[in-house]
Structure 1
């Protein structure tokens, strides 16, 4: 998972479990969007479409999470100034490996939303997000030549 590189002035995590999970997911999405910039910088032209698709998907998830929090009068998280990558990225293979890691991290966050959600529309969003993360992770694993490209339970350790 990416970690903020500096102290953020983000609002506090809400105490409600459902809102807290959604807040956490938005926070994770901020870091993932940042990290996809690193992926993009080290990717080959053949994967540019997948990079663009991935960034756009995570921006949509982040914006939807922020909108849902705002609708509940919960201050959404703000992005950090920078983020520490989980490992050094030098070249296309490491970039694809980072992309897989990002999709896995996002799946963990959205699975928590699914587990904590009280509203059916939040659960529906979380299931859609999990599905999107699993599909993108499979595409990135295929880029790496990893077999199998899918996991049984995205976002979990089962």
Structure 2
């Protein structure tokens, strides 16, 4: 990867969409009552999975170097967010903190203890994406990404598990009609990937060697593949994919390996916002593709040393300037 010769503003995020807030009251039915919120079963399943995870934190020993109380507190925040909008009677009672010495340990997959439980919980959230409203799908994707980061903190192997179902292939899946908001979000994601590819050229040029240089090359290739995915999908939806700018101005000077790692963390963190918005905007068959991109960016941001976020891509959304000419 060669250093660039021109710079414009690093365009990660571009146009941030505001996710729609779900209407939890719903229109009235023909009998004069309120229609059930279709998100309620999804929220209840997500809360049940979260309760099982909380029980795991209360009964399973964490790795010695991990502050599991901080992770558990984030999981509790996930539960509260998933319960928003439900009536009190619809929300299961929260789990009671158990005495680890007296409680029966929670079964865990893959022999990974808490790390495996976090992974399995994240997979369950992805499995419900298509059944959720756009706003809830965005939340589920964000919380699933946080679950994956928790699993990495707890010592899970670097390779993520297979998704709950195969991601939609833009070339094989019939393209549904796209709303203007969906096309805008897809073009934003494509533009952000163009910028990330450019940025990783700078990152790679300032890293002295392995293992960070290998990580940069792997990330660069992953962003090229993701760019190609969005280009195919935008074309399948009848629009012209937005081209890359001639160059991108960096958000800060990069002159050392430390600066390069900081830039990589910045690129990935900004992309989580782009992909959280994309999950809410695209038709259901393509939500999983966007959610997996969100998860992968959150994991790479963690690997590059970015502060972990309880809700990747949703909190602390940053200004989103557009690229200019070279």
- The aligned residue for residue 113 of structure 1 is 278
The equivalent position to 1:84 in structure 2, one of 233, 237, 249, is: 249
Structure 2 residue 234 is matched with structure 1 residue 69: yes
State the match for 1:11 in structure 2: none
SS of residue in 1 equivalent to 2:304: helix
Aligned residue number for residue 2 of structure 1: 10
- Contact kept, 8 Å, 1:113 with 1:122, in 2: the verdict is no
Structure exhibiting the larger radius of gyration computed from Cα positions: 2
| TM-aligned CA deviation for residue 108 of structure 1 | 1.1
What is the CA-CA distance between 1:48 and the residue it aligns to? 1.2
- Alpha-carbon distance, 1:15 to partner: 7.3
TM-score (norm 1): 0.84
Aligned mates of 1:78, 1:15 — CA distance in 2: 21
Q: Look up the match of 2:220.
A: 55
Whole-Å separation in 2 of the counterparts to 1:121 and 1:48: 35
Looking at secondary structure, tell me which structure has more helix per residue. 1
Q: Report the Cα distance in structure 2 between the residues aligned to 1:20 and 1:122, rounded to whole angstroms.
A: 15
2:295 paired residue number: 131
Which residues of structure 2 form unaligned runs of 5+?
Answer: 1-8, 13-177, 317-326
SS in 2 for 1:19: helix
Deviation at 1:121, TM superposition (A): 2.5
Give the conservation status (yes or no) of the 8 Å contact 1:21–1:113: yes
What is the CA–CA distance in structure 1 between the aligned matches of 2:263 and 2:246, rounded to whole Å?
20
CA shift, 1:150, in A, is 2.8
Structure 1 counterpart SS, 2:308: coil
2:11–2:191: 8 Å Cα contact kept in structure 1?
no
Give ranges in structure 1 of 5+ residues lacking alignment: 5-13
Is 2:44 the partner of 1:36?
no
SS in 2 for 1:79: coil
The within-5 A match list for 1:137-152 is 137-141=301-305, 150-152=308-310
